[in-house]
Amino acid sequence: VNTKKEFFGKIIIVGKSNVGKSTLFNKLLERKISITSSKSNTTQKILTGIHTVNEYQSIYIDTPGIVKRNKSFLKKLDKVINKLNLVLFVVEHIIWNYNDENILNKLKNYNIPILLVFNKIDKLNNKKLLLPHINFLLNKFNFYKFIPVSSKKNQNIHNLSKIIQHFLPQESHQHSNNYFTNSSFEFIISEMIREKFIRNLNKEIPYTVKVLINSLKINQQKEYIIYGLVLVNNNRHKKIVIGSKGIKIKLCNIQATKEIEKFVNKKVKLFLKVIKK
């Protein structure tokens, strides 16, 4: 019989687009599962990551930036939020606008503790501005705590994860120690590829690019042979995604290959084909 005390809980990460939710998610999980980029709306699907340290097991949920038109996401939120133990509401240091306000108004409907995370604190030169801003926010809602972090520079992340542990109820772990996501292997690989297109493309095209894994095999030399489809809206997009003499798709392929190799710890051969949806 296992008599060891175990703690287990679920934490959702919300916030408007581009505040660094996925970067934070990866840092809390200590591995990269969610893709990130400087462009808005990078994350398009809810993603789950599991992190186990000794007696603590946390399930983190990364979400697309909440925007008004994202009705289906808000509906999903309604369904899951009551089963969660904590909300990490991520904002960009002391920047607060109507998008953040909308999210707060949505969260107020639920009876669940909220930690306000001031991310990208490395970008705030005058740290003295934090205190008046906290007072401003306290007038709006009784946040459980305010935590400044830099996800990119890994500042104060450890402290945040310690604080999160306090919110995990005593409960048996639901997963084995080495289980880290319920996303499929193919999905993670396709996201790694999509990330390179998002990062290397400009303007409106990045969001419309979809990536599908057509086949994934391991050959006798233990190399991963991956065939992927890059789906675009029209011929104009196809041209841009391929680039002159294929320069853009080659660049994305090289970068994605490196990333997948790190992930699977094996040699990877990636073949990408661009087609119209």
Q: From Mg ion, ligand GTP, none, which one binds at residue 37 (CB under 5 to 8 Å depending on kind)?
A: ligand GTP
Coil, helix or strand for 88? strand
Nearest distance from C-beta of residue 9 to Mg ion, angstroms: 22
* 27 binds ligand GTP per the rule CB under 6 A: no
Task: Name the segment binding Mg ion (CB under 5 A); options: 39-47, 150-158, 160-168, 223-231.
Answer: 39-47
Q: Using an 8 Å Cβ cutoff, are 124 and 36 in contact?
A: no
SS3 content of the chain, % helix, strand, coil (to 5): 40, 25, 35
Task: Name the segment binding ligand GTP (CB under 6 A); options: 12-20, 77-85, 165-173, 219-227.
Answer: 12-20
Nearest distance from C-beta of residue 2 to Mg ion, angstroms: 36
Exposed e or buried b per residue across 153-176, where buried means at least 16 C-beta atoms within 10 angstroms of its C-beta:
eeebbeebbebbeebbeeeebeee
According to DSSP, the β-strands at 114-119 and 145-148 are: parallel
* 37 binds ligand GTP per the rule CB under 6 A: yes
Nearest distance from C-beta of residue 156 to ligand GTP, angstroms: 10
* 58 binds Mg ion per the rule CB under 5 A: no
Tokens representing residue 27 in the block: 């840092």
Q: From ligand GTP, Mg ion, none, which one binds at residue 10 (CB under 5 to 8 Å depending on kind)?
A: none
Nearest distance from C-beta of residue 170 to ligand GTP, angstroms: 31
How many of the chain's residues bind Mg ion (CB under 5 A)?
4
Within a 13 Å sphere around the CA of 163, how many CA atoms are in the beta-carbon half? 19
Q: Which of residues 216-275 bind Mg ion (CB under 5 A)?
A: none
> Hey, which bits of the chain come out as E strands?
7-14, 47-53, 56-62, 86-92, 114-119, 145-148, 210-218, 224-232, 268-276
Q: From ligand GTP, Mg ion, none, which one binds at residue 17 (CB under 5 to 8 Å depending on kind)?
A: ligand GTP
Determine the Cα–Cα distance for residues 100 and 105; give it in Å rounded to an integer: 9
* 22 binds Mg ion per the rule CB under 5 A: yes
Q: Which residues bind ligand GTP (CB under 6 A)?
A: 15, 17-23, 36-38, 40-43, 64-65, 119-120, 122-123, 150-152
